């Protein structure tokens, strides 16, 4: 662990908290937004704990996860579309609370929060299984195909987990309209997966054989 990596991680984490907080609470017009605080808690507390664990046990993985600059132009477009989805989705959730456009039962919110936390646990498992994971599309030195655990069920378990995470977010925020916005994510991630697999077939030895072994990309028995 280096002091530079520590500072970089803390700065990005802090900026994330501030940005999401502004996007959620400013449109809501109040800090008295229970769903917003619930969402902030289940998002950032596990993120902070996970960051500390990675910093102590696998700083190289943390470094790769902090790098979000895509080299592939098509992947850069996917990142921008995802960012736009989050921007619109969070603002819509806040406005929904302010003007009372929709209201979800508390049970739906609680179940969604539990699903979100369970997805976070699966996210940690994927990182444990594949220490080569980065936020950008690349092949690292010495990287090998992982075909065990969750990678033996679908080829992209990280994206399967983020699908659960992102679709539960607007439900935790209590907004039907925000959920509709987040429904574009499966289309965005499908585009990313298609381009990523083309790249991995070219650059990662054994990936073509892995595709033959594990049939499904994202959702078992579906796609």
Residue 171's pLDDT is 97
Residue 99 has pLDDT above 60, yes or no: yes
Is 119 within the bounds of a domain? yes
Is 223 within the bounds of a domain? no
Is 150 within the bounds of a domain? yes
Confidence category of residue 69, pLDDT binned at 50, 70, 90: low
Confidence category of residue 142, pLDDT binned at 50, 70, 90: low
CATH assignment of the domain containing 30:
1.20.120.1630
Is 43 within the bounds of a domain? yes
Confidence category of residue 108, pLDDT binned at 50, 70, 90: very high
Assess contact for 94 and 26: CB atoms under 8 A.
yes
Is 205 within the bounds of a domain? yes
Q: What does the alpha-carbon distance between residue 6 and residue 101 come to, in Å, rounded to a whole number? A: 42
Nearest CA among 175, 208, 145 for reference residue 39: 175
Is 218 within the bounds of a domain? no
* Predicted confidence (pLDDT) per residue in 150-188, tens digit: 888 999 898 999 999 999 999 999 999 999 999 999 988
Residue 206 has pLDDT above 90, yes or no: no
Q: Which residue stretches of the chain are H helix?
A: 3-28, 34-57, 59-66, 73-99, 106-129, 157-172, 176-182, 185-203, 207-213
Is 184 within the bounds of a domain? yes
Is 219 within the bounds of a domain? no
**Structural domain boundaries, residue 140:** 3-213
Residue 221's pLDDT is 83
Q: What does the alpha-carbon distance between residue 135 and residue 41 come to, in Å, rounded to a whole number? A: 23
User: How many domains does the chain divide into?
Assistant: 1
């Amino acid at each position: 662990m280096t002091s530079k990596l520590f500072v970089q991680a803390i700065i990005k984490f802090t900026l994330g908290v501030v940005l999401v907080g502004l996007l959620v609470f400013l449109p809501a017009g109040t800090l008295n937004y229970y769903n917003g605080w619930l969402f902030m808690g289940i998002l950032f507390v596990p993120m902070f704990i996970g960051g500390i664990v990675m910093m102590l046990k696998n700083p190289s993985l943390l470094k790769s996860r902090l790098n979000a600059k895509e080299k592939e132009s098509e992947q850069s477009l996917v990142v921008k579309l995802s960012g736009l989805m989050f921007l619109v989705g969070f603002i819509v959730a806040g406005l929904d609370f302010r003007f009372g456009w929709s209201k979800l039962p508390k049970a739906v919110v609680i179940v969604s929060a539990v699903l979100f936390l369970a997805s976070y646990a699966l996210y940690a498992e994927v990182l444990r299984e594949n220490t080569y994971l980065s936020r950008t599309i690349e092949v690292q030195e010495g990287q090998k195909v992982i075909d065990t655990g969750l990678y033996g069920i679908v080829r992209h378990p990280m994206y399967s987990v983020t699908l659960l995470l992102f679709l539960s977010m607007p439900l935790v925020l209590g907004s039907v309209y925000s959920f509709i916005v987040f429904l574009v994510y499966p289309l965005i991630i499908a585009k990313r997966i298609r381009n990523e697999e083309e790249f991995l077939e070219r650059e990662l030895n054994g990936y073509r054989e892995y595709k033959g072994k594990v049939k499904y990309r994202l959702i078992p028995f579906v796609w």
